[in-house]
Structure 1
Amino acid sequence: MPMNYAKTAFLLAALTAIFVAMGAAVGGQQGMVIAFVVALAMNAFSLWNSDTMVLKMFGAEEVDERSAPEYYGLVRDLARRAELPMPRVYVMHNAQPNAFATGRSPTRAAVAASTGLLESLNRQEIAGVIAHELAHIKNRDTLTMTVAATIGGAISMLAQYLQFGMLFGGHRDERGGGGLGMIGAVLAMLVAPFAAMLVQMAISRSREYQADRMGALIAGNPRWLSSALVKIHNAAQRIPNEEAEQVPAAAHMFIINPLTGQGMDNLFSTHPNTENRIAALEALAQELARNGVDLGPDLPSNEESQRDSGPWAGPSDRGDSRGPWG
């Protein structure tokens, strides 16, 4: 989509300018040149390998039809419904239920779900979540999302490094470099919020509503996704995601904000209100019902959902110790 490519170009240019400015402030003309070269290399890397980098950030492990037949099969079936190439399928070993999609194009896409999501949601709810992520791939949102996560995260970490250097002796340079620590402190305070602002400008919240709607149509029932959003939202407030907390600039990639909302985390909140998303999905379900569309099977009751806490029968029901994803 031309607009997504334009957003990506804007993001790359703006974040490159930040790097060059930081280099000039710290190292003068030489620092500016070095920063420019580093920024160019990082831009090239982010365009071609950012999906791999993001997956590594969150410790995602690739699975296939042998290692995770039911999870992999669900993704395959939904990809067919969405008329998409089969994406790579990953599992994040994280107790917080969440998921994201990445990749610069549909042919290089990947879907990642946490073990917490696979263990706490039923099959229909997981279908709603995966369909939402496939909608991001179909809309080509993942290029901008992944580049933003990679470069925005790098700038945030650099700002933290500058601040760390000031706190531990960078301002006591005996050769008159006392200004370096102060510059680092100022940059650390200014750069992270500015990088967050750029991420918010490039990643429109409207994309989540679009992916919710398209994902609901792919899955076949908007209420599957709305039920999943309720569970994920409630659990994300109780269960920390340590990997996401370390790279808050990547929070926009997840279906629900994985951050606790403490400190700088709020700057990176690019998700619309969960209640508004649920209301929009309920309105879609009612619209489809009025038009005579078959929404598929209803979700299980609360009691049934508790007995079947994962997308498939739990280990005790199967008589083995494998997780529901394998």
Structure 2
Amino acid sequence: MAGYFRTALLLAAMTALFVGIGFVIGGEQGMIIAFVVACGMNIFAWWNSDRVVLGMHNAQPIGPEEAPRLYELTAGLAGRAGLPMPALYVIHEDQPNAFATGRSPERAAVAVNTGLLDMMSEREVAGVIAHELAHIKNRDTLIMTITATLAGAIGMLAQFGFLFGGRGGDGRSNPFGPIGTILLIVLAPIAAMIVQMAISRSREYEADRIGAEITGDPRSLASALMRLEQYKQGRVNEAAEANPASAHLFIINPLSGMRMDGLFSTHPATENRVAALEQLAARIGPPPGGSTRIPAVPPRVGARRPGPWTTGGRRNPWG
């Protein structure tokens, strides 16, 4: 509940920031125009976000014929989470990573990099998939769309500030004066970005927690996060570098040169996430039978490139 409360508080703060800046810089008219335009742009992006981001990363759809064991694993976890089976995609990328997208659970998709399937044990893959299903269950795509809408509207209001020349849209004097207006124009989008990043980090912690509850095995996700952080080093994700706006979707930051829980990072520090999962594991105890007990999937811990991929000519340990 703390994660939801923090997200609601941050959304309220961003809304208040938007309303206050709208009155100071653009008056009522400028605020309404900027908000309508920003909403239209972001609603269009949200409606098409799954197709856009999957195409951006050249994700290829896979079904039970191409990767039956991965499909069964995901179906078992989705059943535990009370979700419909999401569409599955594979990205032929050596950097281990994964993300979920889609505007609703019925339209959701989970994409995994081949690097993740090559390097992770089945228990760890289960932890990663459960984390992505938690994002779907929490409707985090909707939450991030709302924050993007508000952040975009604040940025547009800042542009209106230049057009209005330090006066509100209704002709009244700006109480901050010319210098105050310039500072507000510069600092307001930065403040909005900080709040947006804080919301994104909050949702990652919440997805870790709920994903661990889905598997009943927090340490499987903790182990996966440590290995993902380790194995991403030296493996550049070209598609993510070319499209950094999609970085917040991934389970770990796919961009190079950003390895700290900094002010502008979309992800918490991996060691902080692992520590939180270890605390959760200590509270709930070991999983029954010492495993995630996903039905219909035989154990294959430590598998690495044992079989051919049937899509794209790559090798598939999950076929």
- What TM-score, normalized by structure 2, do the two folds share? 0.68
Identity %: 52
Q: Any idea what SS the aligned residue of 1:90 has?
A: strand
Letter in 2 for 1:296: S
Deviation at 1:283, TM superposition (A): 2.3
Give the TM-score normalised by structure 1.
Answer: 0.67
- How many correspondences in the alignment? 278
Q: 1:50 to 1:237 in 2, by over 3 A?
A: same
Q: Encode CA deviations 1:155-196: one digit per residue, 9 max, x unaligned.
A: 99xxxxxxxxxxxxxxxxxxxxxxxxxxxxxxxx98985664
Residue 211 (structure 1) aligned with residue 207 (structure 2): yes
Q: How does 1:1-326 map to 2 (within 5 A)?
A: 39-145=38-144, 196-205=193-202, 207-261=203-257, 268-289=264-285, 293-296=288-291, 305=302, 308-309=303-304, 313-315=306-308, 323-324=315-316, 325-326=318-319
RMSD between aligned alpha carbons?
4.4
Judged with a 3 Å threshold, the aligned counterparts in structure 2 of structure 1 residues 96 and 83 are, in CA distance, closer, same or farther, namely same
Q: 1:309 to 1:16 in 2, by over 3 A?
A: farther
Letter in 2 for 1:45: F
Deviations 1:307-326 (A, max 9, x none): x225xx3459xxxx752255
Bigger share in helix: 1
- Contact 1:222–1:281 at 8 Å: present in 2 too? yes
Q: Is the 8 A contact 2:215 2:292 kept in 1?
A: no
Q: Is the partner of 2:89 in helix, strand or coil?
A: strand
Distance change in 2, residues 1:281/1:10 (3 Å): closer
Equivalent residues of 1:152, 1:199 under 8 A apart? yes
SS at match of 1:258: coil
> What do residues 259-286 of structure 1 show as CA deviations (whole Å, max 9, x unaligned)?
11269x9664121121121122222223
Summarize the Cα distance change of 1:86–1:100 in structure 2 as closer, same or farther, 3 Å threshold: same
The answer (yes or no) to whether the contact 2:10–2:195 under 8 Å persists in 1 is no
Which one-letter code corresponds to 1:116 in the other structure? G
Q: Which runs of 5+ in 1 are unaligned?
A: 25-31, 157-188, 299-303
Q: By how many angstroms is 1:9 displaced?
A: 8.3
Contact 1:89–1:110 (Cα < 8 Å) also in 2 = yes
CA distance in 2, matches of 1:254, 1:34: 33
Instruction: Flag the 1:73–1:261 CA change in 2: closer, same or farther, 3 A.
Output: same
**Aligned CA distance change for structure 1 residues 14 and 99 (closer, same or farther; 3 Å):** farther
Tell me the distance in 1 between the aligned counterparts of 2:283 and 2:232: 30
Larger RCO (CA within 8 A; separation ≥ 6): 2
* Partner SS, residue 238 of structure 1: coil
Alignment partners' CA distance in 2, 1:150 and 1:253: 17
Cα shift at 1:228 = 0.7
